[in-house]
Amino acid sequence: MIIYYYSSTGNSLYVARFLQERLPDVELRSIPEELNSGIFEVQADKVGFVFPMHYLSLPLQVEEFLEKVSFKESPYLFAIATCGVPYWGRPFLDMNAILAKKRRQLHGAWFLRLVSNYLPYRDTAAEWRISIRAWLAERKLKGIAKAIAQNGHHDTWQVLRDMCQRICPKGNIVRPDGHPVWQHNCVECLGCLHICPVEAIDYAGVTKGRRRYRHKDIQPKELLHDFKGEIDP
Ligand SMILES: Cc1cc2nc3c(=O)[nH]c(=O)nc-3n(C[C@H](O)[C@H](O)[C@H](O)COP(=O)(O)O)c2cc1C
């Protein structure tokens, strides 16, 4: 397995090393060094990319490398984006758009919340917060390592699109320009209202600000009528 990493303050390098220690036969390669080397052909049965989220997407050099890389085999492809705030961002959508030009797609994609190093926005988090994030990240990483070992398929909900449309049991929602439009066939299950990640759906003006609910043992994607994959570790 080859893991390409990009890291300026160590979060992503820590993740890459964590996986190297727990998975068999992992070689780590630095993306800036690969860009300098000019060699872009990769041959491995699994190929991973670990990088920080930058401006809700990919760091420029990661994007440049992805455009250039070519895969000799049909490897299992995964990506992990380390970040400060995982709730927004489209690094995996952007990555899949680049990979699609090579007729590839990610099999596994995970956000891993660590600590933001984006000082222009705000000061570095307090030590106690850094410790909690590190503990939570390690717990999540153990599950990710297990999933990668089994070539597990995994989307994050940030990658799941059209959730309101896909949860509706009556096919009542269409999104011609991205915004949901109801087709007067609603059976009032409220699935769309509860699943929307940005709480854009409201019921007659009365549900604004009320907490959305989902059973703790059920992941959003399991509720989508076209869900066929595996659940998260
Ligand atoms: C230029 C820049 C832009 C960033 N943009 C985001 C962002 O959009 N969302 C986020 O959660 N974190 C953002 N961050 C924080 C990093 O993603 C986060 O700290 C990451 O874990 C750093 O990984 P590294 O130590 O491997 O470089 C940004 C950091 C930099 C330097």
pLDDT in tens, 136-181: 999 999 999 999 999 988 877 555 567 888 899 999 998 776 677 8
12 CA: nearest ligand 1 atom? 26
82 CA: nearest ligand 1 atom? 21
In tens, the pLDDT along 81-111 reads: 999 987 678 899 889 889 988 989 899 999 9
Is 2-149 CATH 3.40.50.360?
yes
CA of 62 to the centre of ligand 1 (A): 13
116 CA: nearest ligand 1 atom? 19
Residue 192 near ligand 1, beta carbon < 6 Å = no
- In degrees, to the nearest 5, what angle opens at C-alpha 210 toward C-alphas 207 and 213? 105
- In degrees, to the nearest 5, what angle opens at C-alpha 9 toward C-alphas 20 and 76? 35
Cα 103 to Cα 27, 73, 122: the distances in Å are 24, 12, 39
In tens, the pLDDT along 56-83 reads: 899 999 999 999 999 998 899 999 999 9
What stretch(es) of the chain map to CATH 3.40.50.360? 2-149
Listed as own residue / partner, the contacts of 32-37 with beta carbons closer than 8 Å and 24 or more positions apart are 32/6, 32/61, 34/4, 34/65, 35/61, 35/64, 35/65, 35/68
